[in-house]
Chain A
């Protein structure tokens, strides 16, 4: 690996923010779909919350991506050939496939969002109501969750499939790590939204909390794997602000402490109510950790 490989110069406040928000949206969406597929009506609350937050969040991301381009007005070249107007897709480029996946995911997230509004009676139209029963909602939820996994994970593959030393050295784990982080931050976002909507007292919560813990355990294993793989190229993660943000923010505050709290917060319904504030703080920490994970891994590859 050649340390002379140039730095792309992606601004963290555009690109890492996109990695994070895209991950939360995608995570919330696939958790929503999986909860509905595997858990059925019991987990309807989780899936509807997931669908409610996925679409507005993913709507925030294209402006971030376009703003980081050198020629923002040409962003449509990602989808159509500049000459001829035929659709363009480069299967070797995660950035190209990811752009299409983001578009597909956005469309599915929009449909699920609309579906939610209709099923909860917040959007009523006689024409629409007639067509509504014929919409294959499970089908597009499945397509959307696959696109969601893609959106959460491709950003990691995108970093791995470069020649920058730390990104190349951590190949092939960052994609999986970002999916795990998408799951844990997506779950945290769902939890916060549910507590805001005062929908926490529902029977499926223990299963949801178990998923939260499992996703954090998978994330922790992958974080360790990434650091081990990085080896001597891990130096940027070991010094200065990036080290504090990575080890203190992502690992300690974002994974270890919420994981410990997940064991501590008892399962019985009464005591959970008294610990609701703690759980809220933990969800915020998980989100913070997820954001710092993207920022640190992006910036670690962009220091000399």
Chain B
């Protein structure tokens, strides 16, 4: 039975405990500091801020497997405001673009349904990076291989939940069987709809064959930086290949008319002479 996570963004407070827990459990290195001493002005200056609300990572990377997104929304006259949070990570897609693209079998799906990169197999070809429709997987310049969330592969195979879910103080991230999580998500969605959150929606039932890590959003997925029409790149492979073969046949046809027709006509001319 696949394990996964349900991220109920409606009760996320943006505390980033999940981000910290992820870094700690997976022993991920720290990011560059936010202040640097400026010897000319003789005082520290602020660097490496994203300038986007409280978002301190800006994207997922080889050392940031979790990104807490902050979305500031204001009405036209700025009299009303809403601050949305969403803790984002690898979605462990059932039809995973990165896994499909991997030419070495370094990216595998385990018996618990999570997509896992075998670090000792990865060659760093980087093809999985643009193959992920969600911008999750990233290259580490240090090891020359790619990294992403493993769904805490070591923990979940030893009866524990993921570190982020364990650390979440509001229950926004819950870990468990995907089928059970979906039941809980449906109930929560119905409750929110009843409370008047008309835009609330669940993201991840249909996308990329179903996401094992899925979300409840209060606004359109695009607002949270998620693609709305997810196309797993390999779905386009048959048509792309067919058109390329047609191109090859067109060139073959061009060769046929050039080399054969031309030749025979010249033969005729030579015969006439």
* B side interface size, CB within 8 A: 66
User: Can you spell out 5 A-B residue pairs with CB atoms less than 8 angstroms apart?
Assistant: A4-B135, A70-B139, A93-B234, A163-B132, A218-B247
Say yes or no: is B246 at the interface (Cβ < 8 Å to chain A).
yes
Say yes or no: is A13 at the interface (Cβ < 8 Å to chain B).
no
Q: Chain A 218-239, CB within 8 Å of chain B: the 1/0 string? A: 1000100000000000000000
Q: Which residues of A contact B225 (CB under 8 A)?
A: 4
Q: Which residues of A contact B143 (CB under 8 A)?
A: 70-71
Q: How far is the CA of A96 from the CA of B103 in the complex (A)?
A: 4
Q: Given contacts A2-B134, A70-B124, A78-B123, is CB(A172)–CB(B239) below 8 Å?
A: yes
Cβ A163 vs Cβ B130 within 8 A: yes
Say yes or no: is A271 at the interface (Cβ < 8 Å to chain B).
no
Q: How far is the CA of A82 from the CA of B117 in the complex (A)?
A: 13
8 Å CB interface, A1-50 against B: 1-2, 4-10, 30-31, 34-35, 38-40, 42-43
Cβ A70 vs Cβ B145 within 8 A: yes
Say yes or no: is A94 at the interface (Cβ < 8 Å to chain B).
yes
* A side interface size, CB within 8 A: 72
Q: Chain B 237-261, CB within 8 Å of chain A: the 1/0 string? A: 1011111101110111011111111
Cβ B258 vs Cβ A207 within 8 A: yes
Cβ A92 vs Cβ B100 within 8 A: yes
Closest to B104 in A: A77
Say yes or no: is B106 at the interface (Cβ < 8 Å to chain A).
yes
Q: Which residues of A contact B9 (CB under 8 A)?
A: none
Q: Chain A 151-162, CB within 8 Å of chain B: the 1/0 string? A: 001101110111
Q: How far is the CA of A193 from the CA of B20 in the complex (A)?
A: 62
8 Å CB interface, A186-237 against B: 203-204, 206-208, 210-211, 214-215, 218, 222
Q: Which residues of A contact B256 (CB under 8 A)?
A: 34, 38
Say yes or no: is A95 at the interface (Cβ < 8 Å to chain B).
yes
Cβ B259 vs Cβ A204 within 8 A: yes
Q: Which residues of A contact B140 (CB under 8 A)?
A: 70
Indicate which residue in A43, A78, A160 contacts B240 across the interface (CB closer than 8 Å): A160
Say yes or no: is B263 at the interface (Cβ < 8 Å to chain A).
yes
Say yes or no: is B102 at the interface (Cβ < 8 Å to chain A).
yes
5 more CB-based (< 8 A) A-B contacts, given A90-B100, A175-B241: A92-B234, A153-B248, A160-B240, A163-B131, A172-B239
Q: Given contacts A175-B240, A179-B244, A214-B257, is CB(A71)–CB(B262) below 8 Å?
A: no
- Tell me which of B135, B234, B262 has the highest count of chain A C-beta atoms within 10 A of its own C-beta: B262
- Tell me which of B104, B118, B136, B257 has the highest count of chain A C-beta atoms within 10 A of its own C-beta: B104
Cβ A183 vs Cβ B104 within 8 A: no
